[in-house]
């Protein structure tokens, strides 16, 4: 009995020793080498650079889009007829230094102040071809203004006619002088920002459509 007890005790001790050794080998934590640390750091740096590049690309795209939109705002294509011929040109945004408004002006025309409360858009090569622009105060009596238009035109010629222009929310009258000069008066009946236009053209140089299309882009400032 004592013999078997001694043998079993020896086996138990040996088993415990072997088990302890096995556990130590399996549970030992392996520390990363310098190469592995460098690889991890390089991977993180590359990921950060990629994110930065992507963010930078997005910001550049947004900036380019904003610049493109701004360029489009500064330009506007206008369609008009000149001596019954259809045309389309790019007009550029201009600001009056005399009255509070912006408008798009075709390249062969210029915008200039005539006198306080009146601006002129005129043909660069012939300033006799022009359009006077008068911004009327809000609340202006448009009925009286229309009467004034007729009175003004009748002082030039008694034969007042319809210019047959496509005038939205407005009215127009016209006279022709013995020298074939054409004077056209147009009232745009915008209650908050009414505009009175007076066009000076000729039968040979019929720029009325061009003037009217530019006038439609007038935007009064607040």
217: nearest Cα among 61, 80, 123: 80
**Predicted confidence (pLDDT) per residue in 151-160, tens digit:** 999 999 999 9
Listed in order, strand segments (DSSP E) in 54-180 are: 75-82, 85-95, 101-105, 109-115, 118-123, 126-135, 170-176
Confidence of residue 221 (pLDDT cuts 50, 70, 90): confident
36-45, 144-153, 211-220: least confident range: 36-45
Global pTM? 0.69
How much is the mean pLDDT over the chain?
80
Mean pLDDT confidence for 181-205: 95
pLDDT above 70: percentage of residues in the chain: 68
For 44, which DSSP code?
H
| Overall CATH class of domain 76-220 | alpha beta
Bigger pLDDT: 3 or 207? Answer: 207
pLDDT of residue 54: 60
pLDDT of residue 118: 98
| Residue entry with tokens 């990629």 | 50
pLDDT of residue 6: 44
Distance between CA atoms of residues 6 and 182, nearest Å: 134
**Predicted confidence (pLDDT) per residue in 32-91, tens digit:** 555 554 555 555 555 555 555 565 555 555 555 555 455 558 999 999 999 989 999 999
pLDDT of residue 25: 46
Neighbours of 141 (CB within 10 A): 11
**Predicted confidence (pLDDT) per residue in 80-137, tens digit:** 999 989 999 999 999 999 999 999 999 999 999 999 999 999 999 999 999 999 999 9
């Amino acid at each position: 009995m004592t013999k078997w007890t001694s043998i079993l005790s020896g086996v138990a001790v040996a088993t415990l020793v072997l088990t302890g050794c096995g556990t130590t080998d399996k549970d030992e934590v392996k520390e990363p080498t310098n190469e592995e640390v460098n690889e991890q750091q390089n991977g993180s740096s590359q990921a950060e650079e990629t994110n930065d590049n992507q963010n930078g690309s997005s910001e550049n795209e947004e900036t380019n889009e904003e610049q493109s939109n701004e360029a489009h705002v500064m330009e506007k294509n206008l369609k008009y007829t000149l001596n019954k011929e259809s045309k389309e040109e790019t007009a550029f945004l201009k600001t009056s230094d005399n009255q509070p408004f912006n408008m798009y002006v075709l390249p062969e025309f210029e915008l200039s102040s005539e006198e306080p409360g009146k601006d002129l858009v005129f043909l660069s090569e012939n300033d006799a071809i022009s359009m006077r622009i008068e911004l009327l105060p809000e609340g202006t009596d448009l009925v009286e203004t229309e009467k004034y238009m007729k009175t003004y035109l009748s002082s030039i010629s008694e034969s007042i006619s319809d210019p047959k222009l496509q005038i939205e929310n407005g009215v127009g009258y016209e006279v022709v002088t013995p020298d074939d000069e054409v004077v056209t008066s147009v009232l745009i009946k915008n209650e908050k920002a009414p505009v009175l236009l007076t066009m000076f053209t000729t039968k040979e140089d019929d720029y009325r459509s061009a003037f009217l299309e530019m006038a439609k882009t007038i935007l009064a400032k607040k």
